[in-house]
């Protein structure tokens, strides 16, 4: 007898059919309670924005030749980061207000 999956039916070995490989598995998603909290996601996003801005400023200091060019890049990067953090905070506040109304 070969090493195949199967079972005995009426005293006879019946092999189990091979699973079809062209089927897409159904994803059930994360277990309840394991999803990150909105506050944590927003805090992570804010930290990421701050780090990205700091990285751009650091790169600008090393890559751009003139002090005016570096200053311009730094101001632009800091403003973009500030605008993005403001938008994140506005969305978080809006979501918090909606949750409180429920």
Strands of 1-102 (E only): list them: 6-9, 12-15
Mean pLDDT of 6-26: 70
- Say yes or no to pLDDT of 1 above 70: no
31 occurs within a structural domain: no
10 occurs within a structural domain: no
Which structure tokens are listed for 83? 């605008």
67 occurs within a structural domain: yes
69 occurs within a structural domain: yes
Neighbours of 73 (CB within 10 A): 17
- Say yes or no to pLDDT of 2 above 60: no
Handedness of CA 27, 33, 38, 39 (dihedral sign): negative
Mean pLDDT of 61-84: 83
The whole-number pLDDT of residue 92 equals: 86
27 occurs within a structural domain: no
94 occurs within a structural domain: yes
65 occurs within a structural domain: yes
Residue 71's domain comprises 54-101
* Inter-residue contact 85 to 50 (CB < 8 Å): yes
At residue 77 the predicted structure's pLDDT band, cuts being 50, 70 and 90, is confident
19 occurs within a structural domain: no
The whole-number pLDDT of residue 79 equals: 92
Measure the CA angle with vertex 49, ends 48 and 53; round to 5°: 115
- Based on the structure, what is the number of domains in the chain? 1
């Amino acid at each position: 007898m070969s090493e195949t999956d199967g079972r005995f039916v009426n005293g006879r070995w019946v092999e189990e059919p091979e699973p079809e490989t062209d089927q897409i598995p159904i994803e059930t998603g994360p277990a309840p309670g394991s999803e990150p909290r909105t506050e944590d996601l927003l805090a992570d996003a804010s930290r990421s924005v701050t780090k990205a801005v700091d990285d751009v400023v650091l790169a600008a200091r090393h890559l751009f030749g003139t002090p005016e060019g570096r200053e311009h890049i730094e101001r632009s990067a800091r403003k973009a980061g500030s605008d993005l953090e403001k938008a994140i905070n506005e969305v978080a506040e809006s979501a918090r207000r909606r949750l409180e109304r429920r």
